[in-house]
Structure 1
């Protein structure tokens, strides 16, 4: 390496680049596949379609990672060692959209909202750094806690089963259903004296469902969880960093050996297939849904700003205003590409930023190599089919860790907030977390509100974000402190 070459710009030998690139991919892999699994199943898509979402996600992860790390003109790419992946912050709003509009049409509405939000994010990227004053650690920490708490519901449902549909805890008794059918037929008979049944009369579910929370599923989830904790405790270096992925692999091997995981779809999937844009048809652009995703993107870009500033400190390369704008523009561009290629909003993955500190390797070309590997994985349909074949209860044990770590990251950021001399910060956190819990505890709270408002208010993440920003401005004002944002990001990577 020449004396004039900064470590960030050092091009390592190809074998080392490949090995370190694989390391970065393995660290982010479990987080990268989680979101397409969550959204695909929330949309009630076919297994083949969910597998395609996973492949598309890996492909776009690779493309956006290369743009961010290598750079594409002066306008895009921060040119630091950054791995890009789907943000968990968007999961809550997207699940709400999926629950309201299932199937391919629901997917088209989600992708339309994502593309629209990406365009807005691209345009406002230079302004976001000026919004740091509205997002000090007391705000970002609170938002991340609520994101983690909201996601925990998904991980818990992966273990036990969804509270509705085929895995609901209670089912309608077959005897009751037969009785209602008989009475309905008698009431419809000519000359019957039985009054007609009231419109929309239904039977309450009263019989325990054996498909909900079977002990075998709980046991396998527990094995995955214990495996992750044991690897994290006793594993060293890189092995400890991929504890979640190794736990999922152990769970997959266990379920396969018990005959509970089937590989028919994996066998029938091809070895190579291009990821085609607009697979589900033209996106549907709903203004309210776009506004919802724009609010998410603002939070994501503020988080990215902290990550970039922290990464600049770790690598010894000062992040200038043009660099920061180029990095945030790439968040917007990546989100547009995601919507076009049937996937989701993108941001820098904090666990990979942490890996830079662990390995001490600062070269951005390591992440470029990781991006190439992700593209290759995305072009192999068997990889997506293999992930889709994993039973949800295997992912449940890992979900407790992945989503719980999101909440724990928020708590760690809040640990550096001054609660002793500024008691008003307690009000900001307390009330905002309370707002964030409303949709989790009382999902029908919006039933009498205008329907157009539902997408905006049915996500606890957005409610908590608005509450935290407004209350912080009310109690603490809006003074800018870049050092605080950098410190919060460093805390989240530790």
Structure 2
């Protein structure tokens, strides 16, 4: 995001983005989002996105695979399948077709929101039926999300800066504990969890990343996160905490065979559960699209948001065919775009191609997996903190001099931080309610929208309502 973002102005047919077209910018070439970078820069920046999201993609299939009792090779297969399907979903989002895809530098990956309900489904089913029932529910949830997208996107009018700023801040704050967990080693049951070695490695990676960001110039500065990951991994090798054994054990080529675990089965309770998850994912994706639109200076209108949510739904519906799970936005990559200022959607499309190749080549996937969790934790602090900072920047334009808006931000942040500060706060609530309440992003977003509705819409003219971009065919 630029330090001084342009003020929102009504759309024009030429842009449809919420800002007036700049004749000088038009003469200079396409919007940075639509610029194609040279191959080397495209590959380097794409690898950086893959490195930032890799742990988030493979963690859900790892947890679910263990939960349903799969063997180690089957879990590895499940992880490769998730990489493959995340690549497909990312291409749908960045390149798009028809009215599908935001055509923004937007990464789609396996949603962690579905892990808990999928484990609950697995407990209710026999081991051989668990994954087929899960996949059947995910397919229906994806179709549900695809059909709901053009209606769900109309909620954009209830997302002025006071709401989007709060939600973007919550996205960053909610992700920071993930980085802290990585910094301690990632596995709470490991005997060396939280050791001085792990935290020291994370700190060293963070320090190297900051130094590189400060000293480097041009393209090298833009990929400082990737260089920090490489440096951190080299330090881990010197310390003897990086493991190469997974590379020699992995297959060179492995295609995710369709319906490898059996044909999908459709159970009503499982479908309802995953449809709720889909609603949660759509809420989080809405916030992420709005945040990314501001960061790349192409504010999302209703058409863009609907197209993004269709890509979520279609990617989710396709994933089970190749043994993947529900796909949704990855907030950590939004932070990467914010900090690197690389706004080209083709960079993220390149990341999608790399993910597909990783899914088809387990040995390559295992190489990326060499990055130790503490190294990811070190750069994660930078990435996720940047997202929170972007939210604070958005709040500066939210008319906080009005006491009502301060109250909206205060209560929404409080509600969103509850699952982080007190993880067991909602333990007595029904499982269906906890799916939403245990997501600080979703809870905070819902509270912010409702309070904004109460204070700025019902019986009052909102003082800080955004000028919405009217629907135009500019991007789709």
Same fold, TM-score > 0.5, yes or no: yes
Question: Using a 3 Å threshold, how does the CA distance of structure 1 residues 484 and 236 change in structure 2: closer, same or farther?
Answer: farther
Residue 165 of structure 1 aligns to a residue whose secondary structure is: coil
Instruction: List gaps (5 residues or longer) in structure 1.
Output: 168-210, 487-494
Which among 108, 124, 128 is matched to residue 85 of structure 1? 108
Give distance in 1, aligned partners of 2:187 and 2:96. Answer: 45
Preserved contact between residue 308 and residue 324 of structure 1 (Cα < 8 Å): no
Which among 405, 425, 430 is matched to residue 410 of structure 2? 430
* Superposition deviation, residue 52 in structure 1: 4.4
Residue 201 of structure 1 corresponds to: none
Question: Using a 3 Å threshold, how does the CA distance of structure 1 residues 261 and 25 change in structure 2: closer, same or farther?
Answer: same
* Superposition deviation, residue 126 in structure 1: 1.7
Please, which moves more after superposition, 278-287 or 460-469?
278-287
Preserved contact between residue 159 and residue 218 of structure 1 (Cα < 8 Å): yes
* Superposition deviation, residue 432 in structure 1: 1.3
Residue 81 of structure 2 aligns to a residue whose secondary structure is: helix
* Superposition deviation, residue 456 in structure 1: 3.0
Residue 434 of structure 2 corresponds to: 454
Please, which moves more after superposition, 468-477 or 56-65?
56-65
Give distance in 1, aligned partners of 2:290 and 2:33. Answer: 24
Residue 172 of structure 2 corresponds to: 148
Give distance in 1, aligned partners of 2:85 and 2:308. Answer: 16
Which among 385, 390, 402 is matched to residue 366 of structure 2? 385
* Superposition deviation, residue 41 in structure 1: 5.1
Residue 192 of structure 1 corresponds to: none
Which among 419, 435, 441 is matched to residue 439 of structure 1? 419
Residue 398 of structure 2 aligns to a residue whose secondary structure is: coil
Residue 139 of structure 1 corresponds to: 163
Residue 280 of structure 2 corresponds to: 295
* Superposition deviation, residue 297 in structure 1: 0.9
**CA-to-aligned-CA distance 1:322-375 (integer Å, 9 cap, x gap):** 66644442232123234544144233854676699657xx6x766655544442
Give distance in 2, aligned partners of 1:346 and 1:128. Answer: 15
Residue 335 of structure 1 corresponds to: 316
Which among 47, 55, 60 is matched to residue 85 of structure 2? 60
Preserved contact between residue 168 and residue 288 of structure 2 (Cα < 8 Å): no
* Superposition deviation, residue 445 in structure 1: 2.6
Which among 19, 32, 48 is matched to residue 53 of structure 2? 32
1:63-142 aligned within 5 A: 63-72=88-97, 74-78=98-102, 80=103, 82-86=105-109, 90-91=111-112, 93-94=113-114, 96-97=116-117, 114-142=138-166
* Superposition deviation, residue 123 in structure 1: 0.9
* Superposition deviation, residue 389 in structure 1: 3.7
* Superposition deviation, residue 452 in structure 1: 4.0
Per the normalisation by structure 2, the TM-score is 0.74
Please, which moves more after superposition, 226-235 or 336-345?
336-345
Give distance in 1, aligned partners of 2:389 and 2:242. Answer: 32
Residue 212 of structure 2 corresponds to: 231
Residue 242 of structure 2 aligns to a residue whose secondary structure is: coil
Preserved contact between residue 304 and residue 328 of structure 1 (Cα < 8 Å): no
User: What is the aligned length?
Assistant: 426
Give distance in 2, aligned partners of 1:42 and 1:458. Answer: 18
* Superposition deviation, residue 291 in structure 1: 0.9
Question: Using a 3 Å threshold, how does the CA distance of structure 1 residues 139 and 117 change in structure 2: closer, same or farther?
Answer: farther
Give distance in 2, aligned partners of 1:320 and 1:412. Answer: 20
Give distance in 1, aligned partners of 2:201 and 2:341. Answer: 34
Give distance in 1, aligned partners of 2:85 and 2:303. Answer: 24
2:392 equivalent to 1:408: no
Which among 327, 340, 353 is matched to residue 345 of structure 1? 327
Preserved contact between residue 69 and residue 365 of structure 1 (Cα < 8 Å): yes
**CA-to-aligned-CA distance 1:380-408 (integer Å, 9 cap, x gap):** 21122123343322222122223222322
Question: Using a 3 Å threshold, how does the CA distance of structure 1 residues 376 and 124 change in structure 2: closer, same or farther?
Answer: same
Preserved contact between residue 51 and residue 384 of structure 1 (Cα < 8 Å): no
Question: Using a 3 Å threshold, how does the CA distance of structure 1 residues 451 and 306 change in structure 2: closer, same or farther?
Answer: closer
Residue 23 of structure 2 corresponds to: none
* Superposition deviation, residue 313 in structure 1: 4.3
2:245 equivalent to 1:220: no
Preserved contact between residue 251 and residue 394 of structure 1 (Cα < 8 Å): yes
Residue 241 of structure 1 corresponds to: 222
Preserved contact between residue 336 and residue 383 of structure 2 (Cα < 8 Å): no
Residue 255 of structure 1 corresponds to: 236
* Superposition deviation, residue 161 in structure 1: 4.8
Give distance in 2, aligned partners of 1:11 and 1:441. Answer: 40
Please, which moves more after superposition, 60-69 or 26-35?
60-69
* Superposition deviation, residue 82 in structure 1: 3.6
Preserved contact between residue 121 and residue 298 of structure 1 (Cα < 8 Å): no
Residue 369 of structure 2 aligns to a residue whose secondary structure is: helix
Which structure has the larger Rg over C-alpha atoms? 1
Question: Using a 3 Å threshold, how does the CA distance of structure 1 residues 331 and 259 change in structure 2: closer, same or farther?
Answer: same
2:296 equivalent to 1:273: no
Give distance in 2, aligned partners of 1:451 and 1:25. Answer: 38
Preserved contact between residue 85 and residue 319 of structure 2 (Cα < 8 Å): yes
* Superposition deviation, residue 311 in structure 1: 5.6
Give distance in 1, aligned partners of 2:134 and 2:412. Answer: 26
* Superposition deviation, residue 267 in structure 1: 1.0
Question: Using a 3 Å threshold, how does the CA distance of structure 1 residues 96 and 77 change in structure 2: closer, same or farther?
Answer: closer
Per the normalisation by structure 1, the TM-score is 0.72
